Amino acid sequence: MSKRAVDAVFQALFILSDLRFLLRETAPQHDFDEAQKKRAATSLEKVKRQIAIIEEELVQ
């Protein structure tokens, strides 16, 4: 059982949900202001970290 991998999958989905809502808030142009760009960049970094954990736990 890899609780760490399961948590990472959920965390990644949750972070992507935040990104999804950023798309909703900025529809239809998705023209991000500086704060929104920063939020997106932070979210993407967090997702990458979770994906790295998933790879480490399940693939490598």
Query: Judged by CB under 8 A, does residue 21 bind another protein?
Result: yes
Q: Which residues contact 45 (CB under 8 A, 6 or more apart)?
A: none
Give the interface segment with another protein, choosing from 6-14, 37-45, 46-54 (CB under 8 A).
6-14
Nearer to another protein, 24 or 60 (CB): 24
The number of CA neighbours under 13 Å toward the Cβ of 49 is 9
Q: Nearest-CA neighbor of 23 among 36, 12, 41, 14?
A: 36
Query: Judged by CB under 8 A, does residue 44 bind another protein?
Result: no
Query: Judged by CB under 8 A, does residue 17 bind another protein?
Result: yes
